[in-house]
Amino acid sequence: MEILIYSYLMESSVLFLVVLIFGSLLALSKGADVLVDNSVGLSLKWGISKMVVGATIISLGTTLPEITVSVSSSISGNPDLALGNAIGSIIVNTGLIIGIASMVGSLPVEKGIMGRQLRLQLISGFLLAAVSLPFLHKGNGGTITRGTGVFFLVLLFFYIVSSIRFAGKPDSGGQRGFVEHKASFPMIIKIILGLLLVFTSSKILIPCVEIMALRFGIPQSVIAATLVALGTSLPELVTAVTASRKGYGELALGNVMGANVLNVIFVVGGAAAVSKNGLPVPINFYRLEIPVMLLLIVAFTVFAKNKDAVISKREGIFLAGIYFIYFLLNYSWV
């Protein structure tokens, strides 16, 4: 099936490919949106904190486009696309999404809960940078090995278990009888449909990006770290901006921090684990992608620890500005 899709798209015009790319990204966003809405609807019945919901249920849902695209591209022999999408998504989340969300609403910091997520985000970001270093492997560039990918997936298991424990027990006051289970059934169906939409649209997106990269002579890693990362991060963007405008900034912050952790241990881990030779790290990632990722994570952590207990608009403008400079530099260096 994939071969038929690829051969058909090879004969298509650039305009048709552009339409398919944007259509696929829209479908990815919509599929993840359905997943998020219904997952939150189910999870809120357990009385979990908004920031914890954002860092667990919502971030798992909004990260599905990244994991689907990265693992599928890794299996199909395009590791540049897999790694670029993961690192680029962290940059989009921390720079663009937090920046915009802080400008349209308030992003209050829950010190106790957020402290845990900030530590996990910092550790995962620096861990990804460490395993990508070229001197750890033979050859000119670095490689995130299959063994490292499996190790990340083990960390994913412990992360999910600890997050569930951290969320605490459900409220004891709620009545969970037959009526509630019956009402939950349509949500479960919509979650399954959202998964199918995310999976199908990613199968169309990947070959479109490949062919566009070949025709314009742009490295796939660059396209993955910018356009594809921006597209697969649309669920986080929509969720964070909507939550911030409605006064649920804690949910937006939790979503972004949870997604950043998952982009390392789930997206990179999954993509590396299914790749026989691991994920090679392109040389250009050492001079731009990885340094910018670490800069944004550190800046975000510093801003979150300020005495005002809120990510201010000025701090958001700084984060968004770093993202736009990064985006422009990617294409000026091609």
pLDDT at 296: 96
Comparing 164 with 294, which gets the higher pLDDT?
Answer: 294
Torsion of CA 153, 256, 57, 170, to 10 degrees: 110
Residue 331: pLDDT above 60? yes
Of residues 132 and 249, more confidence is placed in: 132
More confident residue, 166 or 263: 263
- The CATH number of whichever domain residue 273 belongs to comes to 1.20.1420.30
Highest mean pLDDT among 4-13, 126-135, 300-309, 312-321: 312-321
Please state the domain count of the chain: 1
The pLDDT of residue 177 is: 40
Compute the average pLDDT of residues 183-206: 75
Name the H helices within the chain. 2-10, 14-43, 50-53, 59-62, 64-75, 79-91, 98-104, 111-132, 146-167, 178-216, 220-223, 229-232, 234-245, 249-262, 269-273, 284, 290-304, 313-332
The pair phi, psi for residue 143, each rounded to 5°, is -145, 130
Q: pLDDT tens digits, residue range 80-99?
A: 778 888 899 999 999 999 99
Residue 91: inside a domain, yes or no? yes
50 occurs within a structural domain: yes
pLDDT grade for 305, boundaries at 50, 70 and 90: confident
The verdict on residue 173 lying in a domain is no
Domain coverage including residue 182: 2-168+178-332
- Residue 157: pLDDT band by 50, 70, 90 thresholds? very high
For residue 169, the 8-state DSSP code is P
Query: Could you tell me the pLDDT band of residue 178, with boundaries at 50, 70 and 90?
Result: very low
Residue in this structure with the two tokens 């620096």, named with its chain if needed: 126
Q: Give me the percent of the chain exceeding a pLDDT of 70.
A: 85
